[in-house]
């Protein structure tokens, strides 16, 4: 089985290197094809591993070679394929295969075609390292690696100022979180003496709760950055500057879920510190609502989906925080499928609309883009959690888990958010595909995407529809590792009321969205309507003024402080002190050189002055010594001797 | 009634006179040759002088052999005192003179070398210095000092241009005042102890426990002023920059070494017993003088625009640096003084010789003085070898290892450390850093600037002859490969200084 | 008593003469006063029994040195007053007074020198000149010889400096000028 | 009224101080040389006096050599002055300041 | 040959440099490459012959120089120094190989060869004076390089560089002399040999003072805040090759000396001053990173980033445990490679445009994609991305210091954030966006000669990031022995608690005056 592990891991790497060879050359179609094939190979290997594990095989643990070893520290390149990581591997390879194939079409006309595949495959490789590593340091490699690839891909169209800015923002924000993670890793090392999962997990039980709490907090800070949790969430929406396949793969399906994966992977830790868990759950719930609210009014197609991603990540954290790790993982998987699908659909729309992103400028596209319409509708249904689509199974379980654990506030908020989710998802669908064909005003001639792109998307469509059936087998597979237990609401009545109630609530939200946005006569908002001027609308459209706050109170002061440090402190104080000392010496020389007037008479006077000074000193000393023994001893004690 | 004087020739130890007599004989010979047949080429006199100096050197070496077996020797009614200090100092004096005299073989003609008297006076001067260091009798010190000084004034003036006369007059006048100080100081010690021999003075003072400390200090003050003049310690230094500038570069280099080592030896003989007797006053005063001399002259050197004048101030600074050895007063410090001075003489003579080699008769318009910094701008482009050698000397003077002077500084600072003068050691170290600036300035001009006026580089070797080049080569070799010689030198010097009781 | 009178008389005279030397504006007065002062000093030598020294003082100073100075003065034509711009008189006077006071302060305190044993005692039975000669040609033979060398040096120096050859400066002449001079004047230019 | 050593020493000091005044005050080089002569003569008196009171000849020896030194200094000094005067026609030392700084 | 390989390494380039005067101008570059290639081959041979299992000194050479004063020409390398020597030879080769068209190229190459001598000497010296000789001597070629081939302010910059370092090292010299004197007092004979000094245990107060004296010399060289201001000038004005060598090797002398001198000689003082120095290091990390962010000149950004990284190295060194010190030494190598490469990269663009202002550029990724790629890789290495050489060092340094102080490590860790900020901002300004400046439209991409310098560095940066073991292993071995030595020598409770005890085997150490032979 080990060779499949290595194939799964290194096929993307080979793909990346292969494509990298052609980065500086014009588009070569074969790079896309070969990259896709290699990723597919990885998918196949992952599938084989999945089947192996599913059949009850032992987790595979290999140690490729030593990475760092010094003092007591020993970090190998070790890889572990167990039920959790194989799930992630499946998600990653599957979505990325789809995205690779899709991107062949999507990036068709782009100059950086080859470069794109290089980055994309590099991302897959990093992600594989992240999920397959058997220790925290290896995880961190992947962690930073995906951050790097995310940077490269967000800023893929680097000629756009906004793209490169967003790339840097994403990287730096992630770095802030990475520091937390690094500190968490240090804490683990100095307290357990190892960074291997097995060793560390075993040692956690012996540590005192305070230390564990700190470890938990710092690791979670890491997770917060990667998964864009409040307050480090702003980068995710800005990251939509990248090409849409990137958004689908990285900023919806895989990378952003790495934080969730970290929490799930460290379940042994978090189950020991339920307080931190509760905090995570609360934050997740908050983010779910918070992000959904921003999605309500946004006028950027991709940002709406991004906020929905954020919201769904909140769900996952809520589940993970409450100890329902397997539910979180399952939702992660299901979400990956339908959200990637949604993004790819949005990509089709963008292609058709010549990169127009405002859904108010579209409308009625279902005629031209039938398949896309179907796919996006189904993905939205799945996202909204309508039976029998994937979202229903995963999301409802989270609600059940919250309810079963008697966290009714969390339950209530999540339920409400589910309604919002349904509303904004279908607001989007309605605005894009229904109603009048507003795009004609802008002289755009939309067309359906390439056939093979649609075919490529089909596996995702399939999984978005049927993923729910895997819930039971999945549960059984991961049960041992995640100490999972099924959530059962004790009363069937309650369960049914909840299910139906949720479905009806969500259904109503969908209908409302259709009613409001599928009608004809929608105008492109121009900032005059009453809604647009209401306080809440402004608050939401401005993302609660958080980016403004960051710009105004963090970035700008940092920039100004830097300038002050350089121009005032470094040049005016530190350097000026050094130069000042030299200057004083020099100017003293310059001033006192007049002593050397060149006049012989002055010179003679200096000599006499010297003599007289010496004599005065001699007399003072002599007289003192003669008349005072005390003074003599004091003088001799001056310490010159 | 007057009793007949019975003196055995053996007790006179006339051999102790040999090293001093050789240059005297040489000088007389030169005078006689000139009388018998005038108009002979200067090379004859150069070679003759060199010959006598070599003989002198051999005689000193012979004396050092005697010292190693018999220890300190007194001679000729105990006036002559041949101890380690005397021998070491004579080595430096004669050695430096041997390096100096070939510098007379310039390509251009300068006035002083057209006189046979120049060489005669030069040899007399050496004899004077030798007498000065080889005695502890203040009278002989005084007479020796004046002999050499008078000769030196003349040698400076014989360069025969306005600045050299001015320099000679200034030097002479201040020298006369210093002579007054010296005689007054000697008078006070004579009044105190009834003796003019340093050993006896020390004995008597110690015997009555420095009862008249006030008197002693007044005497010390006068001596300090007198030696301060010779050693160019601030504020008695004012002659030095002007005289160095006025004298020819070769003479200036010579002056920065030989008169000072002679004065150092006398100062060492005189102050060492005072320092050791625990007179706090002397410690404090010397401390101040040393620090002020090092620091202030460094500051003045910073602001000079003429290389020779800069080197003059730097020589003052070096003298102050070395004066610290007398303050510290340990065997290590005194050995360090000699080590430093030997290494210094190579480097400093070398750098002054470089100036000498580039001495023009007529200054071009852009050049304000003989050796202004501008003159050396862009030297690496036109005269790379000369520039490299000059740079080497500058680095050595700045104390950059492994060149000669670094080892001197190392040992000197180490002696301050072992002597317990921590702060002084730091000041000495930091002064080297300040000094680095002006040596660097010349390097900057030579290596990093463009020439002010394009020239073919011949200006830097305008005066070059084989003799000059040889001397510079020797100095350069001595500067670079000093590290090989440090150990034997150190052992030799330490043995001599230690066995002389210093 | 006689000694005291003589001391104070000559002390007064010497101080007065030397005072004139440093203050007068007339160089001739200064020269004369200096000569007079030197002679008065020799009086102290005689009082103190240093006859030889007294004689030397008169011969060397008043005879030789003063003559030299007188020649020099004629040469320099110093009957013209040199206008001496004085910088700051207070510095000069202050410094010297301070110096004098300081030394006097210490010197006026009695010196303790009882235990000094004369190394070369003045013999009562022989004359001063004789005993001086004895010491000079034994103990101080070497300084004496060196002093001779010194005088030789001074003589050579004086001749060289005041000699005619100094009028032309080879240092300042370029190579061509030296060659020209050699040819034109057919003068013996020393190598 | 015994004339003691101190009388002579005080006299010598006073003369020395006068000499110092002359050295500092005089701008005419020739007169300046006079002042240096005064310095040496002042010391000579003291030497002779000490020699007398110790009954020791060393002081007289010293004074003797001081006289010799003074004499040779005059020779060299005058030589220098003559050369300078030949060039510049003056022996005012205020005009002798071509080097400074 | 093995007996004298270190001397050969040191003096071969010097002799070759002297012979270089005789080489004709146009052939000089080939000569330089040949000599430095031989030198590098020798360095590699040194590595080949190096015994990884030995923690102490290897290839020791001993020659009395001034035995009367205890100065001996003693050389030797251990795991700590061997790699820096190799790196120095490596950079000399790359530097000469990728040297662009320079006026007076002959002198430049001769100077570089001399510089190589001094660099090899500093890291191989085991005698304080020999160390000091090379330490000071290294200033001279660098002075010349900056002063003769530098920018408009080159003279100011070169003099400042020289005098500042010179002043600091003179204070250090006084410290060395004191150390030797204490040794003399304790044993009765002079010695400047480092291995002798290692066996001397000083009272704490002496240690504190001597530590401070040495600190001045090292801190200015590193350069530590607030002694760092010479560096931006030196880098800003120096020609590319000068900056490369300065950043890659010369700065490492300071940090290396901390490990070689300050720690083992004064363990108590090191423990005592750990916190103040850590705070200085943190100021270096954050403050200079912010200053770097404010720069307009891309070379200054890299220069200030060097200071920032040196802060991490210092922090790792003063972690006083094996992880931290190993990490800091590894980071020395890492930063050498990365900063060297970055300066080379800046030089590439300077050669084309003769300006380093970022505002002059923009969109270079369009016109020079290869260049942008290599720059990007090196930038990522500089911000410490895992699997690049810097990460290993930074990770270990911070990890090591975390044992000593949590909060300070957290603060220092912000370096990875602020580091990313200025680097990415600079990269964005220069490479992203559209090509706005006409002059940039037709810039040629990186050429072969430049690639010759850069590709090996890229390879090393990634190779050692992925597989640091061949280097980290020997380093670890030697660091362990140093830490153990420090622990054994430490006297105060503070030091005992801060410096870990690795084994229970005791090395017999001299107590004040009595010398005992080491028991094996």
Please report the DSSP string for A353-393 in residue order. Answer: TTT---GGG---TTTT-HHHHHHHHHHHHHHHT-TTSHHHH
Cβ of C64 under 8 Å from any chain A Cβ? no
Indicate the range of B482-486, E139-143, E183-187, E442-446 predicted with least confidence. E442-446
Which residues lie across from E74 on neighbouring strands?
E62
Least-confidence region, from A18-22, A173-177, A637-641, E494-498: A637-641
Going from N- to C-terminal start, the domains of chain C cover 1-76, 128-191
Find chain D residues with C-beta within 8 A of B157's C-beta: 79-80, 83
Q: Who contacts B238 (Cβ-Cβ below 8 Å, separation ≥6)?
A: A595, A596, A602, A603, A606, A607, B174
A203-212, A444-453, B53-62: lowest mean pLDDT where?
A: A444-453
Q: What per-residue confidence (pLDDT) applies to E60?
A: 92
Give the pLDDT score at E117. 94
Is the pair E, D in contact (3+ CB pairs within 8 Å)?
A: no
| Average pLDDT for A43-72 | 88
* The pLDDT value given to residue A640: 40
Question: Is residue E508 predicted with pLDDT exceeding 60?
Answer: no
- pLDDT computed for residue A403 by the predictor: 85
What is d(CA B340, CA B327) in angstroms, rounded to the nearest whole number? 15
Q: What is the residue-level pLDDT of chain B in tens, covering all 502 positions?
A: 456 667 777 777 788 888 999 999 999 999 999 999 878 888 899 999 999 999 999 999 999 998 988 888 888 788 888 999 999 999 999 999 999 999 998 888 888 888 899 999 999 999 999 999 999 899 999 999 999 999 999 999 998 888 899 999 999 999 999 999 999 999 989 988 888 999 989 988 888 777 777 788 888 999 999 999 999 998 899 999 999 999 999 999 999 999 999 999 999 999 988 888 878 888 889 999 999 999 999 999 999 999 999 999 999 999 999 999 999 989 999 999 999 999 999 999 999 999 999 888 888 877 778 888 888 888 888 888 999 999 999 999 999 988 999 999 999 999 999 999 999 999 999 999 999 999 999 999 999 888 887 777 788 888 889 999 999 999 999 999 999 999 999 999 999 999 988 8
Query: Do β-strands B80-82 and E58-66 pair in parallel, antiparallel, or remain unpaired?
Result: unpaired
Torsion of CA E343, E346, E351, E353, to 10 degrees: -160
Q: For chain D, what are the domain ranges?
A: 7-92
Give the best-scoring range by mean pLDDT among A601-605, B6-10, E49-53, E213-217: E213-217
Confidence of residue C117 (pLDDT cuts 50, 70, 90): low
> How many CB atoms sit inside 10 A of residue C184's CB?
8
What does the pLDDT average to over A34-52? 92
State how far the Cα of A566 lies from the Cα of A143, in Å rounded to an integer: 33
Task: Flag whether pLDDT at C106 surpasses 70.
Answer: no
CB contact under 8 A, C140 and B79: yes
**pLDDT digit string (tens) for A133-167?**
999 999 999 999 999 999 999 988 888 888 989 99
- Indicate yes or no: CB of B146 within 8 angstroms of CB of D69: yes
Whether chain E lies against chain C with 3 or more Cβ pairs closer than 8 A is no
B117 contact D CB<8A = no
Q: Are A155 and E432 in contact (CB under 8 A)?
A: yes
What is the predicted pLDDT for the residue at E510? Answer: 38
Q: What is the phi/psi pair of residue C81, to 5°?
A: -70, 135
Min distance E18 CA to chain A CA atoms (Å) = 35
- Do E398 and A186 lie within an 8 Å CB cutoff? yes
**Which among A165, A183, A171, A253 has a CA at the least distance from the CA of A220?**
A183
Spell out which residues of chain C touch residue A609, defining contact as CB-CB under 8 Å: 95
Q: Name every residue whose Cβ is closer than 8 Å to that of residue E322 and which is 6 or more positions away in sequence.
A: A70, A71, A72, E400, E476, E479, E480, E483, E500, E502
What residues of chain E lie within 8 A of the CB of A213, using their CB? none
Residues B406, B485: contact at Cβ < 8 Å?
no
Do A388 and A468 touch, CB atoms closer than 8 A?
Answer: yes
Who's near E212: CB < 8 A, 6+ residues apart? E175
Which of C95, C96, C106 lies closest to A619 in CB terms? C106
Collect all residues from B whose CB is shorter than 8 A from any CB in A.
169-170, 173-174, 177-178, 181, 213-215, 217-218, 220-222, 224-225, 228-229, 234-236, 238-239, 241-242, 278, 280-281, 283-285, 287, 296, 298-303, 434, 437
DSSP E511: B
Is 1.10.287.3510 the CATH number for D7-92?
A: yes
Q: DSSP of A448-464, one letter per residue?
A: PPPHHHHHHHHHHHHHH
φ/ψ (deg, to 5) at A135: -150, 165
Query: Which of B124, B157, B190, B296 to substitute to test the interface with D, most D CBs within 10 Å?
Result: B190
Strand E58-66, strand E71-77: pairing:
antiparallel
| Shortest alpha-carbon distance between residue A566 and chain C (Å) | 52
Torsion of CA D49, D54, D60, D66, to 10 degrees: -70
Beta strands in E316-389 (DSSP E): none
State whether A598 and D27 contact (CB < 8 Å).
no
Chains that touch E (3 or more CB pairs under 8 A): A, B
Length of chain E: 520
Whether residues C48 and D13 touch (CB distance < 8 A) is answered with no
Q: Which helix (H) or strand (E) holds E73?
A: strand E71-77
Please report the pLDDT score of residue E506 as a whole number: 37
* Mean pLDDT within A434-449: 80
Quick one: pLDDT at residue E505?
Answer: 42
Residues 6+ apart with CB under 8 A from E253: E119, E122, E123, E135, E138, E221
Q: Would you tell me which residues 562-601 of chain A have a C-beta closer than 8 angstroms to some C-beta of chain C?
A: 601
The number of beta carbons lying within 10 Å of the beta carbon of residue B191 is 27
Residue E375 CA, distance from chain mean position:
22
Task: Identify the pLDDT of residue E257.
Answer: 94
- E window 65-124, beta carbon within 8 A of B: 65-69, 71, 107
User: What is the per-residue pLDDT for A370?
Assistant: 85
Report residue A638's pLDDT band, with 50, 70 and 90 as the boundaries.
very low
Buried b / exposed e over A595-611, threshold 16 CB at 10 Å, is bbbbbbbbbbbbbbbbb
Higher pLDDT, A577 or B208: A577
At A561 the pLDDT is: 92
Contact residues on chain D for A592, CB-CB shorter than 8 A: none
Residue A342: pLDDT over 70: yes
Cβ-defined contact of C147 to D65 (cutoff 8 Å): yes
The answer to whether residue C115 scores a pLDDT higher than 80 is: no
> Of chain A residues 581-600, which have a CB less than 8 A from chain D?
593-594, 596-600
Chain D neighbors of A599, CB-CB under 8 A: 93-94, 96-97, 100
More confident residue, E61 or B452: E61
Question: What mean pLDDT value characterizes chain E?
Answer: 89
Between CA E166 and CA E175, with CA E172 as vertex, the angle to 5 degrees is 155
- Which pTM does this prediction carry? 0.92
Q: What are phi and psi of A74, to 5 degrees?
A: -140, 115
Task: Report the distance separating Cα A459 and Cα A604, nearest Å.
Answer: 105
Q: Measure the CA–CA gap between A399 and A494, rounded to whole angstroms.
A: 13
Nearest to A219 by CA among A241, A195, A247: A195
E464: Cβ contacts below 8 Å, ≥ 6 apart: E333, E334, E337, E389, E392, E471
Whether B49 has its CB under 8 Å from any CB of chain D: the answer is no
Q: Cβ–Cβ of C56/D67 closer than 8 Å?
A: yes
Chain D CA closest to residue A589: D101
Partner-chain contact E476 A71, CB within 8 Å: yes
Q: In this complex, do B218 and A623 lie within 8 Å of one another by their Cβ atoms?
A: no
pLDDT at B378: 87
B-chain residues near D68 (CB < 8 A): 143
Separation between Cα atoms, residue A206 and residue A432, nearest integer Å:
56
Residue of B157, B173, B183 lying closest to D83 (CB–CB)? B157
Name the burial class of residue B8, with classes exposed (0-12), middle (13-18) and buried (19+) by CB atoms within 10 angstroms of its CB: exposed
- Cis peptide preceding E226, ω within 30 of 0: yes
> Helix, strand or coil for residue A180?
helix
CATH number of this structure's domain C1-76, picked from the four choices 1.20.120.1200, 1.20.140.10, 1.10.645.10, 3.10.580.10:
1.20.120.1200
pLDDT at residue E512 is higher than 60: no
Nearest CB neighbour to B179, from listed D69, D96, D99 = D69
Q: Are A557 and B267 in contact (CB under 8 A)?
A: no
Kindly determine whether residue A603 and residue B218, on different chains, have CB atoms separated by under 8 Å: no
Distance CA(C17)–CA(C24), nearest Å, equals 10
Domain parsing of chain B, residue ranges: 12-499
Report domain extents, chain E: 2-498
What single DSSP character describes residue D92? B
- Please give the biggest Cα pair distance in chain D: 56
Task: Specify the pLDDT at position A440.
Answer: 79
In this complex, the chains that touch A, judged by 3 or more CB pairs closer than 8 A, are B, C, D, E
Please give the pLDDT value at position B344.
Answer: 94
| SS3 of residue B212 by DSSP | coil
Measured in angstroms, the CA of A352 and the nearest CA of chain E are apart by 26
CB D73 within 8 Å of CB D36: yes
Decide if B179 contacts D37 (C-beta within 8 A): no
């Amino acid at each position: 089985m080990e060779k499949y592990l290595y194939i799964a891991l290194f096929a993307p790497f080979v793909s990346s290197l292969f494509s990298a060879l052609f980065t500086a050359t014009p588009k070569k179609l074969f790079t896309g094809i070969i990259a896709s094939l290699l990723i597919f190979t990885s998918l196949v290997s992952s599938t084989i591993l999945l089947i192996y594990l599913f059949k009850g095989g032992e987790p595979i643990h290999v140690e490729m070679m030593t990475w760092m070893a010094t003092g007591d520290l020993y970090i190998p390149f070790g890889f572990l394929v167990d039920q959790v990581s194989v799930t992630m591997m499946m998600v990653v390879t599957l979505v990325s295969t789809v995205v690779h194939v899709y991107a062949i079409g999507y990036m068709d006309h782009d100059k950086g075609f080859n470069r794109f595949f290089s980055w994309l495959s590099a991302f897959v490789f990093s992600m594989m390292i992240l999920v397959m590593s058997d220790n925290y340091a290896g995880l961190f490699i992947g962690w930073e690696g995906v951050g790097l690839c995310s940077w490269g891909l967000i800023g893929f169209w680097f000629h756009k100022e906004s793209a490169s800015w967003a790339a840097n923002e994403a990287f730096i924000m992630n770095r802030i979180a990475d520091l937390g993670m690094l500190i968490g890793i240090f804490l683990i090392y100095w307290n357990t003496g190892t960074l291997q999962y097995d060793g560390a997990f075993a040692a956690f039980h012996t540590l005192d709760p305070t230390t564990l709490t700190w470890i938990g907090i710092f690791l979670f800070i890491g997770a917060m950055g990667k998964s864009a949790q409040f307050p480090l969430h702003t980068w995710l929406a800005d990251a939509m500057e990248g090409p849409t396949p990137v958004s689908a793969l990285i900023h919806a399906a895989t990378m952003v879920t790495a934080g969730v994966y970290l929490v799930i992977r460290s379940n042994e830790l978090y189950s020991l510190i339920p307080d931190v868990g509760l905090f995570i759950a609360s934050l997740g719930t908050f983010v779910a609502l918070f992000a959904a609210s921003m999605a309500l009014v946004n006028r950027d197609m991709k940002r709406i989906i991004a906020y929905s991603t954020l919201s769904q990540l909140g769900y996952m954290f809520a589940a993970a925080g409450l100890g329902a790790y397997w539910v979180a993982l399952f939702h992660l998987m299901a979400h990956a499928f339908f959200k990637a699908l949604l993004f790819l659909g949005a990509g089709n729309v963008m292609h058709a609309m010549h990169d127009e992103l405002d859904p108010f400028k579209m409308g009625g596209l279902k005629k031209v883009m039938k398949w896309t319409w179907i796919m996006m509708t189904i993905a939205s249904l799945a996202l909204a959690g309508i039976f029998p689509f994937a979202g229903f199974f995963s999301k409802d379980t989270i609600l059940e888990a919250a309810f079963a654990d008697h966290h009714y506030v969390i339950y209530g908020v999540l339920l409400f958010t589910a309604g919002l989710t349904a509303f904004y998802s279908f607001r989007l669908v309605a605005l894009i595909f229904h109603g009048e064909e507003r795009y004609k005003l802008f002289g755009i001639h939309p067309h359906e995407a390439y056939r093979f792109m649609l075919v490529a998307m089909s596996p995702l469509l399939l999984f978005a529809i049927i993923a729910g059936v895997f819930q039971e087998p999945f549960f059984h597979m991961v049960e041992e590792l995640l100490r999972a237990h099924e959530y059962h609401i004790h009363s069937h009545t309650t369960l049914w009321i909840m299910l139906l109630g949720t479905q009806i609530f969500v259904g109503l939200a969908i209908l409302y969205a259709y009613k409001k946005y599928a009608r004809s006569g929608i105008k492109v908002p121009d900032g005059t309507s009453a809604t647009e001027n209401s306080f809440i609308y402004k608050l939401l459209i401005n993302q609660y003024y958080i980016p403004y706050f960051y710009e105004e109170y963090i970035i700008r002061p940092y920039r100004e402080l830097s300038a002050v440090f350089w121009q005032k402190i470094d040049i005016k104080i530190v350097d000026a002190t050094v130069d000042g000392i030299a200057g004083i010496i020099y100017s003293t020389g310059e001033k006192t050189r007049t002593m050397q007037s060149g006049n012989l008479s002055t010179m003679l006077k200096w000599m006499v002055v010297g003599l007289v000074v010496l004599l005065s000193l001699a007399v003072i000393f002599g007289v003192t010594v003669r008349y005072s023994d005390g003074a003599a001893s004091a003088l001799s004690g001056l310490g010159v001797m | 009634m007057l009793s007949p004087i019975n003196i055995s020739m053996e007790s006179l130890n006339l051999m102790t006179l040999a090293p001093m007599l050789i240059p005297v004989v040489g000088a007389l010979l030169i005078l006689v040759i000139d009388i018998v047949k005038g108009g002979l080429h200067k090379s004859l006199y150069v070679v003759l002088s060199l010959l006598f100096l070599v003989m002198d050197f051999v005689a000193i070496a012979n004396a050092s052999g005697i010292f190693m077996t018999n220890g300190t020797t007194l001679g000729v009614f105990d006036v002559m005192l041949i101890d380690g200090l005397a021998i070491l100092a004579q080595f430096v004096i004669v050695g430096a003179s041997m390096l100096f005299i070939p510098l007379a073989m310039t390509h251009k003609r300068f006035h002083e070398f057209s006189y046979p008297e120049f060489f005669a006076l030069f040899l007399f001067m050496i004899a004077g210095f030798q007498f000065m260091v080889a005695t502890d009798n203040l009278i002989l010190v005084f007479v020796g000092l004046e002999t050499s000084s008078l000769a030196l004034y003349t040698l400076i003036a014989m360069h025969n241009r306005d600045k050299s006369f001015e320099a000679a007059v200034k030097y002479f006048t201040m020298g006369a005042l210093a002579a007054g100080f010296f005689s007054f100081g000697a008078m006070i010690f004579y009044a105190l102890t009834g003796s003019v021999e340093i050993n006896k003075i020390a004995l008597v003072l110690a015997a009555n426990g420095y009862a008249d400390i006030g008197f002693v200090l007044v005497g010390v003050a006068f001596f300090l002023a007198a030696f301060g003049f010779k050693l160019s310690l601030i504020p008695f230094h004012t002659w030095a920059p002007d005289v160095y500038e006025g004298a020819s570069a070769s003479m200036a280099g010579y002056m920065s070494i030989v008169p000072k080592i002679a004065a150092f030896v006398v100062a060492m003989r005189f102050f060492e017993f005072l320092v050791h007797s625990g007179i706090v006053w002397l410690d404090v005063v010397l401390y101040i003088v040393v620090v002020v001399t090092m620091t202030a002259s460094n500051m003045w050197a910073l602001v000079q625009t003429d290389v020779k004048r800069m080197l003059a101030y730097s020589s003052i600074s070096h003298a102050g640096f070395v004066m610290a050895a007398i303050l510290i007063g340990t065997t290590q410090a005194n050995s360090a003084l000699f080590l430093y001075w030997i290494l210094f003489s190579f480097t400093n003579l070398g750098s002054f010789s470089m100036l000498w080699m580039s001495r023009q008769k007529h200054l071009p318009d852009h050049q304000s003085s003989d050796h202004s910094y501008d003159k050396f701008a862009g030297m690496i482009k036109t005269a790379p070898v000369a520039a490299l050698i000059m740079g080497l000397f500058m680095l050595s003077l700045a104390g950059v290892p492994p060149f000669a002077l670094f080892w001197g500084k190392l040992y000197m600072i180490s002696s301050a450390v072992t002597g317990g003068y921590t702060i002084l050691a730091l000041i000495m170290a930091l002064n080297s850093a300040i000094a680095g600036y002006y040596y660097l300035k010349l390097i900057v001009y030579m290596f990093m600037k463009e020439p002010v006026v394009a020239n073919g580089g011949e200006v830097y070797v305008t005066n070059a002859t084989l003799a000059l080049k040889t001397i510079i080569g020797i100095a350069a070799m001595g500067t670079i490969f000093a590290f090989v010689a440090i150990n034997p030198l150190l052992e030799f010097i330490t043995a001599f200084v230690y066995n002389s009781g210093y | 008593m006689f000694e005291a009178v003589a001391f104070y008389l000559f002390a007064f005279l010497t101080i007065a003469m030397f005072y004139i030397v440093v203050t007068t504006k007339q160089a001739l007065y200064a020269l004369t006063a200096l000569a007079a002062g030197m002679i008065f000093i020799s009086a102290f030598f005689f009082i103190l029994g240093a006859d030889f020294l007294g004689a030397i003082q008169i011969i060397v100073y008043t005879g030789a040195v003063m003559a030299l100075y007188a020649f020099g003065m004629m040469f320099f034509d110093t009957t013209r007053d040199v206008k001496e711009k004085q910088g700051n008189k207070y510095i000069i006077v202050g410094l010297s007074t301070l110096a004098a006071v300081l030394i006097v302060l210490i010197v006026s305190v009695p010196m303790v020198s009882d235990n000094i044993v004369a190394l070369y005692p003045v013999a009562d039975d022989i004359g001063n000149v004789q005993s001086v000669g004895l010491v000079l040609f034994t103990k101080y033979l070497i300084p004496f010889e060196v002093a001779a060398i010194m005088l030789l040096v001074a003589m050579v120096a004086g001749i060289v400096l005041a000699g005619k050859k100094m009028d032309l400066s080879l240092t300042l002449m370029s190579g061509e000028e030296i060659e020209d001079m050699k040819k034109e004047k057919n003068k013996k230019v020393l190598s | 009224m015994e004339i003691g050593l101190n009388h002579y020493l005080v006299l010598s000091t006073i003369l020395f101080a006068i000499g110092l005044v002359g050295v500092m005050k005089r701008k005419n080089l020739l007169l300046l040389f006079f002042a240096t002569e005064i310095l040496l003569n002042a010391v000579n008196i003291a030497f002779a006096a000490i020699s007398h009171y110790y009954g020791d000849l060393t002081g007289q020896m010293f004074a003797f050599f001081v006289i010799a030194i003074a004499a040779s200094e005059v020779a060299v000094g005058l030589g220098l002055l003559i050369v300078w005067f030949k060039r510049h026609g003056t022996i005012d030392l205020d005009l002798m300041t071509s080097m400074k700084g | 040959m093995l007996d004298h390989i270190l001397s050969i390494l040191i003096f071969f380039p010097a002799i070759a440099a002297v012979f270089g005067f005789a080489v004709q101008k146009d052939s000089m570059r080939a000569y330089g490459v040949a000599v430095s290639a031989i030198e590098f081959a020798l360095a590699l041979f040194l590595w080949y012959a190096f015994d990884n299992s030995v923690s102490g000194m290897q290839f020791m050479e001993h020659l009395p120089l001034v035995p009367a004063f205890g100065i001996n020409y003693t050389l030797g390398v251990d795991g700590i120094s061997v790699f820096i020597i190799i790196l120095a030879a490596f950079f000399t080769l790359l530097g000469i190989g990728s040297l662009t068209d320079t006026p007076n190229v002959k002198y430049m190459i001769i100077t570089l060869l001399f510089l190589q001598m001094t660099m090899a000497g500093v890291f191989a010296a085991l005698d304080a004076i020999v160390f000091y000789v090379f330490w000071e001597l290294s200033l001279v070629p660098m002075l010349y390089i900056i002063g003769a081939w530098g920018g408009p302010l080159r003279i100011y910059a070169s003099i400042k560089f020289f005098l500042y370092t010179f002043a600091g090292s003179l204070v250090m010299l006084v410290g060395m002399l004191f150390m030797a004197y204490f040794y003399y007092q304790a044993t009765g004979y002079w010695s400047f040999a480092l291995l002798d000094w290692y066996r001397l245990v000083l009272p704490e107060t002496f240690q504190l003072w001597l530590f401070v004296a040495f600190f001045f010399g090292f801190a200015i060289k590193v350069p530590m805040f607030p002694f760092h201001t010479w560096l931006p000038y030196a880098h800003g004005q120096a020609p590319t090759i000068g900056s490369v060598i300065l950043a890659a090797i010369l700065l490492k002398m300071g940090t290396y000396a901390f490990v070689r001198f300050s720690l083992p000689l004064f363990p108590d003082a090191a423990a005592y001053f750990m916190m103040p120095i850590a705070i200085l290091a943190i100021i270096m990390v954050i403050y200079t990173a912010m200053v770097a962010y404010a720069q307009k000149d891309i070379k200054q950004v890299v220069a200030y980033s060097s200071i920032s990284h040196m802060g991490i190295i210092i922090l790792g060194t003063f972690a006083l445990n094996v992880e931290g010190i190993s990490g800091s030494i590894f980071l020395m190598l890492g930063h050498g490679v990365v900063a060297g490469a970055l300066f080379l990269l800046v030089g590439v663009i300077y050669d084309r445009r003769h300006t380093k202002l970022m505002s002059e550029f923009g969109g270079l990724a369009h016109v020079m994609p290869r260049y942008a790629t290599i720059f990007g890789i090196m930038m990522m290495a500089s911000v410490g991305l895992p699997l690049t050489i810097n990460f290993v060092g930074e990770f270990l340094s911070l990890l090591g210091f975390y044992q000593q102080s949590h909060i300070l490590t957290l603060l220092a860790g912000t370096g990875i954030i602020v580091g990313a900020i200025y680097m990415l901002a600079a990269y964005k300004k220069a490479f992203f966006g559209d090509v706005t400046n006409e002059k940039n439209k037709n810039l040629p991409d990186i050429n072969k000669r430049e690639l010759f310098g850069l590709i090996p560095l890229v390879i090393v940066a990634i190779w050692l990031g992925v597989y640091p073991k061949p280097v980290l292993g020997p380093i670890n071995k030697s660091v362990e022995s140093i830490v153990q030595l420090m622990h054994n020598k430490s006297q105060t409770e503070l030091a005992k608690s801060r410096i870990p005890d690795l084994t229970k085997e005791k090395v017999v150490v001299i107590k004040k005056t009595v010398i005992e032979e080491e028991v094996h």
